[in-house]
Every structure is written in C-alpha cells, then in structure tokens.
Amino acid sequence: MLTPWLEAFPSTCKPLLSEIDDTLKVPLTRIIAEGTNAELTQTENAQPAIMATSILILRVMEKEFGFKTEERVDITLGHSLGEFAALVAGGYLQFDDALRLVRKRAEAMARCAKEAVQKEGSEFGMVALICESESHMRSLIITIQEFLAPGSEYASGDYATNDDKPAVQKVLIANINSKNQIVLSGSIARIHTLLANLRQFGGHDPRHVRLKSDSPFHSPIMRPAQELMRKLLYKETADGRDIVTWPGIMPCVSNVSARPFQSKAELKELLARQAVETVDWWGSVKYLHEQEKVKRWIGIGPGKVGRNLVGKEVGMKGAVKGGGVWGITSPKEMEEVVRALDETEDVDGE
C-alpha cells in the first residue's frame, strides 16, 4: 500500500511513516511493506494501516500538489473505519490521536472476535446480500428486522428472543451499502439459518457472498470495543486536550445517523456506537446526493470500494459533465484526479 507513495514522494512520506511507528510504538510501516499477508490482515494491523495510508495519500495531495483541503472540500465522510480518516481530514481529530484510537479499537475488536469463537466454538464473520433493486432491498431489510425482532410472529425459535440473547448469539445488519447490497454480521451458522428462514418463510432468496473477514464488525459482539471508545473519547489526551476538536473545518457525515455530526457530544457518542451499529452508507450518500447536491466525490485510500458504491448510487464514474466520482489509490491516479478537479472547479454545489 505504501511503497509506490514512498518511492514517488519520499520527502513527504518518510516523516509521516516515522510518525506512524513512533505514535503506535510498533513497526506498522514494516508490517505494511514486508509483513506476511496473515500478519497484515490481522485486525489490529489492518485497520490502522488502512487509516494511515488514507491520510498519507491526503498529505501527499496537499503538500506535493498544493491541494488545500479546507478550501476545496465541503463535506467529508468515510465508510466504517474510514470515518476516522474523514474526521482527521475534517479537522475533528489529530492524526496521531486517530491512529491510537483506531489501533486500540482494533485490538478490542480482535479480542471480541476471538472470545466469541471460544464461547461458541463456531465461525463468525460477515455475509453480503445482493438485491435486485432498491424496492427489493427495502423489503428485505424489513423482513430481516421482523425475523430478528423479539417475539416476532415471523421469527423461528432461534431468533424469537434475539434482543434477549447474549451478544455472541445475535445477528445484525452491519452495513446498508447501496440500493442493492446489505451486509449481515455475526455467527455464520446463524446467518445461514436466517437465510434459510428468509427463503422458506419470508419470500426472499438473495444472492449472498461471504466476505473476507473472520470478525463480526458492527454487531453486538463488538460492544466491549464500543465501551472502550467511549472511555477514550471522553478522556483527556496526555497534554491535557480534549481529543475531539469542535467545530471542525467542514461538516462530517456520521455512519450511524447518515447526517453531519451536530455537536461534540454527539460525535463522541455516535463514533463509539459505530462499532456495534449499522453503517448507513447508502443513506449517507443519498443525503449528500439528493439534499446537499454534491457533484464531485473524491475517494482516498488503498482501495476503491467506497468510490464504487458512490458511483453506483449517483450514476457516475470518473469525470462527467458537471462533476465526477474519483478514487485515488496510486500516484498516477493522484495526478489524473487533481487535473480533473481543477477542470471542474467552477461546478456549483460541489
């Protein structure tokens, strides 16, 4: 993830890479560059690595290309882990504070997943459901919620008291990613039971894909991570600061509410809750597209999942007349996107 950026922009990247390792007190940049796939994909390494890479790309954009974030960006948002990078870009969290938060949160999440497996003796993870249309997706969500609701007439015995069960036994809608994709999180066996019930009793048979994650993110199993985040967000930093700066330099959209954070207290609460609650990415993008009339979208990070989800919702990919949806994952793409942004700078309602 980092090597192309380090080779292309060493003067900007080297100090930031040193800052990452000094902040975390672990050789994360070595793990990113030289570690095995198994080592890098461990939650406690992968999450800070992705967040750090996203901010490194933004810093390159600012220092090497003269991009003034505070002047040229109107609103930030990030998908799940990306919310931390969005808060750094928006001026709400300092980079080193965000990096420590993400690392500690990831360590807690890894423990939660390990303990869940030990208690249940079965697999945990996430499964994406692919819907045919927006109306199908909305109907599917309603049916799933009916199956998972306590005492529901539609629920099988395994789910009839879902809210009363221990967190390890629950299934949750983790992500609403787009008008035709949602993600379930929890016990893989229970997810498959739910899918069987949806087919037999609910009239739904969505295509489903197991995601490459052994952790049930955004589910009640992650409650200890939520409580840790609450403590960390309300604790003063070592130099006596409040960890959250309010206001930021631009609005930032919450994954939980799908609306901009309204206060420092709300930001802390929703950022903590995000560990166990549904990421409403689809709602966030619809809000920005339909109400804020956003015309230009820049996805920054080591992958393009967010860019692709946005592009599907707003019907754009790359530059179009009056705007565009871009992803920056390499130095070459950086040059292309900065040029495209300059060419579309006079667009109203960016």
Give the pair of three-digit tokens for residue 218: 């955004």
pLDDT score at 319: 72
How many helices and strands (H and E) does the chain possess? Answer: 15, 7
Q: How many CB atoms lie within 10 A of CB 297?
A: 23
In order along its 350 residues, the chain shows pLDDT tens digits of 889 999 999 999 999 999 999 999 999 999 998 999 999 999 999 999 999 999 999 999 999 999 999 999 999 999 999 999 999 999 999 999 999 999 999 999 999 999 999 998 889 999 999 999 999 999 999 999 988 887 654 444 454 445 567 777 789 999 999 999 999 999 999 999 999 999 998 899 999 999 998 899 999 999 999 999 999 999 999 899 999 999 999 999 999 999 999 999 999 999 999 999 999 999 999 999 999 999 999 999 998 888 899 998 998 877 777 799 999 999 999 999 999 999 888 755 44
pLDDT of the residue at 88: 98
CA 67, CA 57: separation in Å to the nearest integer?
Answer: 11
Q: Where on the phi/psi map is residue 186: left (φ > 0), alpha (ψ -120 to 50), or beta?
A: left
Structure tokens at 267: 């930001």
DSSP annotation of 137 = H
| The pLDDT value given to residue 322 | 74
Q: Where are the alpha helices (DSSP H) in the chain?
A: 3-8, 10-24, 28-34, 37-40, 43-65, 69-72, 82-89, 95-120, 134-148, 188-197, 223-234, 264-273, 281-286, 305-314, 331-343
Termini Cα distance of the chain: 29
| Calpha distance 214→292 (Å, rounded) | 36
What pLDDT score was predicted for residue 160? 43
CA distance 196 to 308: 30
Nearest by Cα to 42 from 186, 175, 215: 215
Q: Is the dihedral of CA 34, 37, 38, 41 positive or negative?
A: positive
Cβ neighbours of 231 (radius 10 Å): 10
Give the whole-angstrom CA distance, residue 154 versus residue 152: 5
pTM over 0.85: yes
